[in-house]
Amino acid sequence: MEMEHAVIQQQVVEYPEEHEVEVDVDNIMKTEVAYGSGVHSTAFRYKHKKRSKVWEEYKPIFLNGKVQFAECLYCHNRLSCKDSNGTSHLWRHQKICPAKSEAAAEGQQKDSYFPYVLVNGDGPVSPIDPVNQIISETLDDIGSATPSRFKSKVWKEFTPIYVEGKLQAADCIHCQKRLSANKFGGRSHLSRHLLTCPGRLESLHNHHKFLFEPSSAPSFNSRANDELSPALTNGKVQIAEYANKLPRISTSGDTIHTIQPIQMVPAHPPPTSDGASLKKQRTSFTNISTDKSAGKFCQETSYQELAKMIILHAYPFSVVEHEEMRRVIKNLNPIVGMVSHNDMKDHCTALFQKEKVNIKDVLALSCRRVSLSASIWTPDGPEPTVNYLCLTAHFVGDDWKVHRVIIKFGMFWSSPTNLERIIHCKEASVPESESGPYNVMWDAIRDWNLDQKILSLTSVGDVRNNANTVKLKEMLIEKKCLPIRGKLYNIACLDDILNSVVSAGQADILRFVGDAVMEFFVAHASSPSAQQQLLEVISQMSLKCPQEDAKWWHKFYFRLEVLLHFKKSFPSEEVLNLEDMNVAESICKILRMFYRVIEVISCPSSVTANIYFNEVWKVRTVLQEEASNGNGEFSRMVMEMQEAFHGYWQNTYLWLSIPVVLDPRFKIGFIEFRLKRAFGTNSESYLSDIRETVRELFNEYCNPTDLPSAASNSAALDADNDLLEDWDQHLNEQASCQISTELDDYLEEGLVPRKDEFDILNWWMNHTTKYPTLAAMAQDILAMPASAVQSEAAFNSSGPVIPKHYSTLNIKTIEALVCARDWMR
């Protein structure tokens, strides 16, 4: 006993100044230390200075007896904190700490640490212990002595712990964790602990146990060595990490918590001459920092994955604040901190910006020209007060595959009466007279550096017929941004045209067979046996049932197909009279062709442009056949539909024919065959126009790369003394004649045999060396789209829609969500 007293006294005297530590506290704590049979009252004091409130947000970390770092209680980042640094950087970190705003919103933050570190001993309490035995008192024992201190409801779930008659700690009755509880510490940290206490959550959630990976579940020995670091160094109080975790002993029967005696020992032994202790401390700190960095990286990854989930499934940002979502994530990984909806919006926007940079690089390096398509989107719901313009880029990349990416999502039109959006999103309305195709498309062209790379534009009627779209085309032609003077620009969307053609005959179609079809389904839905027959017929059909919000003609076509299949399956059943049945078959034939063509051209896999001509020709053929069937009123209706379709043909036959010329299975001969059979002697004007346009486009592709430029050659010479301009012109003409033989050789070469699995892009990739200019031309031409929307939206009555909750966001956020979702698919 005397020897132990001498050792402790020697340590206190030998290192009186080296281990002095400046720690901000409100009061000086005194500890009674027992020596021998008597009690010697010695006061161990902090070096006192005025306390900064910023330390309420940080945990001081000591190395060599001095404060070296401050650990944020919210995000656990460590900041340097030496005497000369001050605390201004700690204040700045609190203003931008992402975890602090989250903790304030949800009331969950790390538990407070025990203000001085205690190491439990295994032996019994004896008079030589520096600190007397800790006495555990219940609320019943002390309620009468200090009734005001335990009025808080939090004490129903904590056991107060006294040292020398003074309250110093509180034990959680669920997990037995010990937290500080002196009269200066408050009780809020106890409430926060209950929100995250694993023992309490276990009892609330049917004793659900958290599963940890072996590497993340430290043993008791590691906790005793690493987390319960000692507290006193030569009479100075040391604050160590995880000091609130004190070991407990519990029995297997009734839960009895045995409080072990506590002994204070030096926090850091005196440094040796070889510096081994300092090296060990530095190594320990390095390992802790590495673990923290690994945890932060994992958390950032979790946020990114959560952002991807929100974008792909169009969830609202507020889903991260739903109690159920927080509970699921905490159960999966308690380490991951939750974020607010504003933080998640920032994560989604950052993800969009990152992907945008990558796609910009692809567009800049992987293709010569791009084709654009423009469609109108609306918020999901009745009577939208805002329309959006979606601009998509189509191109063939270096992999010789067709790619389509949304590059712009902007405001097309918004109602001036939509006051709520003006207030919440702080966006001005866009009247119909100032609708935004010009601004949206021109902004996208400049943002993505496409002013010299545009080949074509395919757009829906609202965009194509807008005066601002025509204005944009004229401006692009003036700036020489469009090839062949914009002949391929602002082409009508084919599915939009077919919808308008059907709409032209809607009244007559419903008048002819609408009532008869309705009577058939009413009759077969009234009895169980007839209904069973109907369902049996539908199950045998390969046709997909339309959605509830499908276009009217799509629903009507499905009913006609069911009716005709029912007639074949049950020939004895009287379905319709003979005349109505013939009309129903003719109408179904027309609508069936429209449906299949839209399915092909709006396929999500992005088909190549060489197939469009044949699909359009199918529509033209079926209309021509049904117009000449001899039924007077019905024939007149089909002729009206033919007239509406003929307008589309006149405006797009060049656009449809050029990709066919670049198909080695057909070339120009297929076009001649079709047009001569359809138009006779009038076909020559079409053929002449097609040949001239193909050659003109080919020459434009030759000039930038293969032909010497007279302007560039003469720029190096004196403008007044250039006597070789005629020679340069002669060289250009000669080179043009030589290169034009590439086109002639291709057209004169034999046709490639037709195969079911023919890949036209692969063919051109393999013939790039033989036809370099034509291959570059085909790479751009074959990516032109015939439809501006995909199939799921092509049959929708309202067209493409965005989730209803998107309409409460500003346009920049909506653009980020729509574009990022398209890029991730």
Alpha carbon 127 to chain centroid distance?
Answer: 66
Q: Exposed e or buried b for every residue in 125-152, given b needs 16+ CB within 10 A?
A: eeeebbbbebeeeeeeebeeeeeeebee
Tell whether the model's pLDDT for residue 115 goes beyond 50.
Answer: no
pLDDT for res 97: 86
| Cα maximum dimension of the chain | 128
76-90, 388-402, 811-825: which range is least confident on average? 76-90
- In the chain, the percentage of residues whose pLDDT exceeds 70 is 69
Q: pLDDT-based confidence at 187, cuts 50/70/90?
A: confident
Cβ–Cβ < 8 Å for 606, 467:
no
226-240, 342-356, 424-438, 496-510: which range is least confident on average? 226-240
Q: How far apart are CA 745 and CA 695, in angstroms?
A: 13
H-run or E-run covering 402: strand 402-414
Tell whether the model's pLDDT for residue 696 goes beyond 70.
Answer: yes
Alpha carbon 436 to chain centroid distance?
Answer: 26
For residue 12 the two structure tokens come to: 């206190």
pLDDT for res 267: 36
Three-state SS string over 620-637 comes to HHHHHHHHCCCCHHHHHH
Tell whether the model's pLDDT for residue 248 goes beyond 60.
Answer: no
Tell whether the model's pLDDT for residue 563 goes beyond 70.
Answer: yes
pLDDT for res 447: 94
Cβ–Cβ < 8 Å for 270, 311:
no
Q: How far apart are CA 800 and CA 496, in angstroms?
A: 13
Alpha carbons within 13 angstroms on the beta-carbon side of residue 185 total 18
Location of structure tokens 């904590």: 158
Residue 318 burial (CB count, 10 A): 12
Q: Average pLDDT, stretch 458-481? A: 90
H-run or E-run covering 236: strand 236-237
Cβ–Cβ < 8 Å for 336, 329:
yes
364 Cβ neighbours under 8 A, 6+ residues apart: 449
Tell whether the model's pLDDT for residue 639 goes beyond 70.
Answer: yes
Q: Average pLDDT, stretch 198-204? A: 76
Location of structure tokens 């945008």: 356
Q: Mean pLDDT for the chain?
A: 74
Q: How far apart are CA 5 and CA 126, in angstroms?
A: 14
Q: Please give the torsion angle defined by the CA atoms of residues 721, 723, 728 and 734, in that order, rounded to the nearest 10 degrees.
A: 180
- In the chain, the percentage of residues whose pLDDT exceeds 90 is 31
Tell whether the model's pLDDT for residue 228 goes beyond 60.
Answer: no
281-295, 327-341, 653-667, 785-799: which range is least confident on average? 281-295
Q: Pick the residue with more confidence: 523 or 608?
A: 608
Strand order in the sheet with 135-136: 135-136, 158-163, 166-172, 178-180
Q: pLDDT-based confidence at 347, cuts 50/70/90?
A: very high
Q: Long-range contacts: 675-678, Cβ < 8 Å, 24+?
A: 678/620
CA 780-785-789 angle, 5° bins: 150
pLDDT for res 722: 57
From the list 454, 452, 364, 377, the residue with the least C-alpha distance to 409 is 377
Using DSSP, state whether 307 is helix, strand or coil: helix
Location of structure tokens 């302007």: 711
Tell whether the model's pLDDT for residue 600 goes beyond 60.
Answer: yes
pLDDT for res 816: 96
* Eight-class DSSP state of 603: -
pLDDT for res 34: 35
Point out which residues pair with 348 in neighbouring strands: none
pTM of the model: 0.62
Q: Indicate the pairing of strand 454-459 with strand 491-492.
A: parallel
Tell whether the model's pLDDT for residue 76 goes beyond 90.
Answer: no
pLDDT for res 575: 80
Predicted confidence (pLDDT) per residue in 642-689, tens digit: 998 988 988 899 999 999 999 999 999 999 999 998 888 888 999 999
Q: Average pLDDT, stretch 201-210? A: 54
Using DSSP, state whether 24 is helix, strand or coil: coil
Q: pLDDT-based confidence at 318, cuts 50/70/90?
A: very high
Q: How far apart are CA 85 and CA 81, in angstroms?
A: 6
pLDDT for res 23: 38
In this structure, which amino acid lies at residue 304? Q
Predicted confidence (pLDDT) per residue in 765-777, tens digit: 999 999 999 999 9
Measured between alpha carbons, how far is residue 683 from residues 509, 653, 686, 824 in Å? 33, 12, 5, 46
How many helices and strands in the chain, by DSSP H and E? 30, 21
Alpha carbons within 13 angstroms on the beta-carbon side of residue 311 total 28
Q: How far apart are CA 226 and CA 245, in angstroms?
A: 11
Tell whether the model's pLDDT for residue 477 goes beyond 80.
Answer: yes
25-39, 445-459, 631-645: which range is least confident on average? 25-39
Alpha carbon 93 to chain centroid distance?
Answer: 28
Point out which residues pair with 394 in neighbouring strands: 371, 404
Which ranges in 680-724 belong to alpha helices (H)?
Answer: 683-702, 710-715
Cβ–Cβ < 8 Å for 410, 811:
yes
- Crossing angle between the packed helical segments 552-569 and 515-524, to the nearest 10 degrees: 60
- Crossing angle between the packed helical segments 494-504 and 632-661, to the nearest 10 degrees: 170
Alpha carbons within 13 angstroms on the beta-carbon side of residue 20 total 8
Residue 532 burial (CB count, 10 A): 11
pLDDT for res 355: 94
pLDDT for res 372: 95
φ/ψ of 175, rounded to 5, equals -110, 0
pLDDT for res 740: 64
H-run or E-run covering 615: helix 612-627
Q: pLDDT-based confidence at 438, cuts 50/70/90?
A: confident
Alpha carbon 562 to chain centroid distance?
Answer: 41
Location of structure tokens 């996208």: 444
Q: Pick the residue with more confidence: 295 or 753?
A: 753
Q: Average pLDDT, stretch 3-16? A: 38
71-80, 91-100, 713-722: which range is least confident on average? 713-722
Predicted confidence (pLDDT) per residue in 57-70, tens digit: 888 887 777 888 88
Q: How far apart are CA 46 and CA 66, in angstroms?
A: 12
Measured between alpha carbons, how far is residue 560 from residues 504, 592, 634 in Å? 19, 10, 17
Tell whether the model's pLDDT for residue 191 goes beyond 90.
Answer: no
pLDDT for res 58: 86
Q: pLDDT-based confidence at 257, cuts 50/70/90?
A: very low
Residue 368 burial (CB count, 10 A): 16
Alpha carbon 708 to chain centroid distance?
Answer: 47
Strand order in the sheet with 66-72: 58-63, 66-72, 78-80
Location of structure tokens 């940290």: 189
- Cα radius of gyration rounded to whole Å, the chain: 40
147 Cβ neighbours under 8 A, 6+ residues apart: none
For residue 444 the two structure tokens come to: 């996208």
Which ranges in 662-682 belong to alpha helices (H)?
Answer: 667-679
- Crossing angle between the packed helical segments 341-366 and 276-312, to the nearest 10 degrees: 80
Q: Indicate the pairing of strand 58-63 with strand 232-233.
A: unpaired
